[in-house]
């Protein structure tokens, strides 16, 4: 990796991060939005979509009022039923939301064996999840009613009935699947009935959340995924196009609600209280009854597992712009792991493989840099001659370069071609569940977390400094030269808080570049720059 590579990578990284922060991520509004009013807004003040009533009339409140308990009616004790899936345990109870909890069996919050397992609360900051609500406030109490819960051969059945409605929830799962298939049936007994049903999951932002940059609401519509940072979900967002699923995610895990009905669902993202947001599938109620089959998945964002649940759910793994490169890189990383049984070693092997594959581009760039280094004395004389005339300086420099067969783009283009691979690998090492709590060696026990003693970032800075000394000096500007000298410190500081797996990649890449540089210097008969 030469100086131009370092500069190009730094500039591209700054542009990439700035683009995501200022354009891709929705901007945070200065005013927070509270819970929506429970009355239906007038058409004049609410947006409408052609052929669809206004979705703002869903009437979900953060704490729906319960029906008054009749005098002398005994309070039911909490009933719980646990269902085992392929990847965890689902806990149901007879009151309120569908799931009391969902605990994953192979993932813990910390490295200690005594650490708690990853569950709903650790991902969404909610203890109970998935609710059913209607756009008529007279039915708001149904979100908290206590029904009858019983085991069935395939799962469990929940039933509630009063003089207005009969509700059932049928849960089906097994040890061979990672999800729970749920069928909701509503039978309305009176003429007055709601027009829309809302199946919702919730997620809450908390203060000083270390995962705030990764905690998102996601949904799939129009053959693409849309993302909204939870901290930016401050305004109601209607989704008038058909929605396949909604989800609440952090960096490695997701709770998703996937439509299975032939009846198309629309979507709604609604902030309901300070930091808390509902993501809903919205269904019209065609008559006096409604049947909604949905699939609920809570688990790791592991590509093959997600595809088994829903083929498009793999898009919830955020590999950024260069997903097309990220998939083969992750597949290669996992292939190395099959033999090495250590993702740190797999990262090292993948890094060396990439250096070998990109060697022709590096060789071409080095040839161009050698020409540029040889032209430095002549370029310096031209700079002194036209130091007060920038236009004449640029014109004569270009003329001189062309006369010697040097193309300025020849040195930069090979580096720029490699940039998508670098960014894709960065996203793979940052987002892949495979590195979650994956140990390497010695003091690095978690490749998804930073180096606890900052050893690898410091070694990276030192290695990049040595690499600079071996690279031909092509800087045409004193300011540029000084900036290059600071690059090792800048990169080292940048890597202090990033996953150690990514730092290992950068360190191995720098070490391999030094070896490659020595070989190329000898092959091209280029002496190391001093």
The gap between the terminal CA atoms of the chain, to the nearest Å, is: 17
* Predicted local distance difference test score (pLDDT) of residue 177: 96
Torsion, CA 43, CA 47, CA 49, CA 52, rounded to 10: -40
H or E segment and range at residue 216: strand 216-221
CB 6 within 8 A of CB 471: no
Return d(Cα 136, Cα 38) in angstroms, integer: 9
* Predicted local distance difference test score (pLDDT) of residue 69: 41
CA 349 from centre of chain:
25
CA 343 from centre of chain:
20
User: Which residues are CB-contacts of 190 (< 8 A; sequence separation ≥ 6)?
Assistant: 163, 164
pLDDT at 437 over 60: yes
Q: Which tens digit of pLDDT belongs to each residue from 209-244?
A: 888 888 999 999 999 999 999 888 888 999 999 999
* Predicted local distance difference test score (pLDDT) of residue 34: 31
- DSSP secondary structure letter of residue 129: B
* Predicted local distance difference test score (pLDDT) of residue 407: 59
What 3-state DSSP class applies to 93?
strand
Beta-bridged to residue 256, according to DSSP, are: 247, 297
Q: What is the pTM of this model?
A: 0.78
Select from 321, 103, 290 the least CA-distant residue to 199: 290
* Residue bearing the bigger pLDDT, 6 or 398: 398
**Domains, the chain, ranges and CATH?**
3-18+322-523 (no CATH), 86-318 (2.70.98.90)
Segment 343-353 mean pLDDT = 94
Q: Which tens digit of pLDDT belongs to each residue from 438-478?
A: 999 889 999 998 888 999 999 988 988 888 777 655 555 55
Return the minimum-mean-pLDDT range out of 135-144, 390-399, 516-525: 390-399
Confidence of residue 426 (pLDDT cuts 50, 70, 90): confident
User: Which residues are CB-contacts of 155 (< 8 A; sequence separation ≥ 6)?
Assistant: 83, 170, 171, 172, 173, 180
pLDDT at 408 over 90: no
């Amino acid at each position: 990796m030469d100086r131009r590579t370092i500069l190009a990578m730094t500039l591209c990284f700054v542009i990439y991060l700035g683009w995501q922060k200022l354009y891709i991520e929705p901007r945070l509004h200065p005013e927070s939005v509270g819970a929506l009013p429970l009355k239906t807004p007038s058409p004049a003040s609410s947006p409408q979509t052609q052929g669809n009533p206004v979705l703002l009339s869903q009437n979900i409140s953060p704490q729906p009022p319960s029906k008054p308990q009749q005098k002398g009616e005994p309070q039911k004790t909490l009933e719980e039923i646990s269902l085992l899936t392929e990847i965890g345990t689902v806990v149901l109870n007879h009151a309120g939301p569908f799931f009391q909890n969902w605990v994953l069996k192979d993932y813990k919050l910390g490295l200690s064996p005594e650490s708690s397992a990853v569950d709903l609360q650790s991902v969404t900051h909610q203890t109970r999840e998935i609710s059913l609500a209607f756009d008529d406030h007279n039915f708001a109490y149904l979100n908290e009613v206590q029904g009858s819960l019983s085991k069935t051969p395939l799962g469990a059945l929940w039933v509630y009935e009063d003089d207005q409605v009969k509700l059932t929830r049928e849960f089906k799962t097994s040890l061979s699947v990672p999800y729970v298939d749920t069928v909701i049936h509503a039978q309305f007994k009176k003429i007055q009935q709601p027009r829309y049903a809302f199946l919702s999951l919730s997620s809450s932002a908390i203060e000083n959340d270390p995962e705030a940059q990764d905690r998102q609401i996601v949904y799939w519509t129009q053959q693409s995924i849309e993302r909204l940072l939870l901290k930016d979900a401050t305004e109601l967002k209607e989704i008038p196009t058909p929605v396949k699923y909604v989800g609440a995610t952090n960096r490695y895990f997701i709770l998703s609600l996937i439509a299975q009905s032939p009846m198309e669902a629309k979507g709604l993202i609604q902030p309901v209280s300070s930091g808390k947001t509902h993501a809903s599938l919205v269904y019209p109620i065609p008559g006096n009854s409604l049947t909604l089959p949905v699939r609920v998945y809570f688990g790791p964002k592991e590509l093959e597992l997600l595809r088994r649940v829903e083929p498009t759910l793999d898009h919830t793994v955020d590999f950024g712009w260069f997903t097309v490169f990220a998939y083969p890189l992750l597949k290669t990383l996992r292939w190395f792991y099959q033999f090495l049984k250590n993702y740190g070693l797999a990262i090292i092997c993948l890094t060396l493989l990439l250096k070998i594959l990109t060697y022709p581009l590096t060789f071409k760039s080095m040839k161009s840099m050698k020409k540029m280094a040889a032209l430095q004395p002549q370029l310096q004389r031209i700079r002194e001659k036209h130091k007060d005339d920038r236009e004449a300086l640029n014109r004569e420099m270009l003329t001189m370069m062309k006369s010697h067969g040097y193309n300025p783009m020849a040195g930069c283009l090979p580096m720029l071609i490699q940039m998508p691979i670098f960014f894709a690998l960065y996203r793979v090492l940052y987002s892949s569940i495979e590195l979650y709590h994956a140990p390497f060696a010695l003091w690095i026990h978690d490749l998804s977390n930073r180096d606890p003693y900052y050893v690898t970032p410091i070694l990276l800075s030192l290695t990049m400094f040595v690499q600079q000394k071996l690279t031909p000096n092509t800087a045409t500007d004193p300011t540029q030269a000084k900036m290059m000298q600071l690059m090792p410190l800048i990169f080292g500081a940048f890597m202090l808080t990033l996953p150690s797996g990514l730092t290992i990649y950068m360190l191995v890449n720098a070490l391999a570049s030094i070896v490659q540089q020595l070989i190329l210097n000898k092959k091209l008969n280029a002496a190391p720059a001093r």
